[in-house]
Amino acid sequence: MNEKNCCNENSKNCNNNATASGGAVYGLGFIGAAIYFISHATGFWMGVLGVFKALVWPAYLVYEALSKLGI
């Protein structure tokens, strides 16, 4: 089997370690952000809004980083 084509749609032992670690980092970030936003919520609906904010916090992080770099 060719090394370059070992990860095609018919292969069952494809290495996805990089994808799994990225998902783990995002998952831990989501949990941390959700705990932060929910703990600072003043009511139930602000807690619900906190969960939605926790889902999209990486977008705000990238936006702020790029704006500080002047890009």
Query: Each residue of 23-57: pLDDT tens digit?
Result: 888 888 889 999 999 999 999 999 999 999 999 98
Position 71 scores a pLDDT of 74
**Total-model pTM:** 0.60
Assign 3-class secondary structure to the chain.
CCCCCCCCCCCCCCCCHHHHHHHHHHHHHHHHHHHHHHHCCCCHHHHHHHHHHHHHHHHHHHHHHHHHHCC
Domain boundaries along the sequence of the chain:
17-69
Position 67 scores a pLDDT of 92
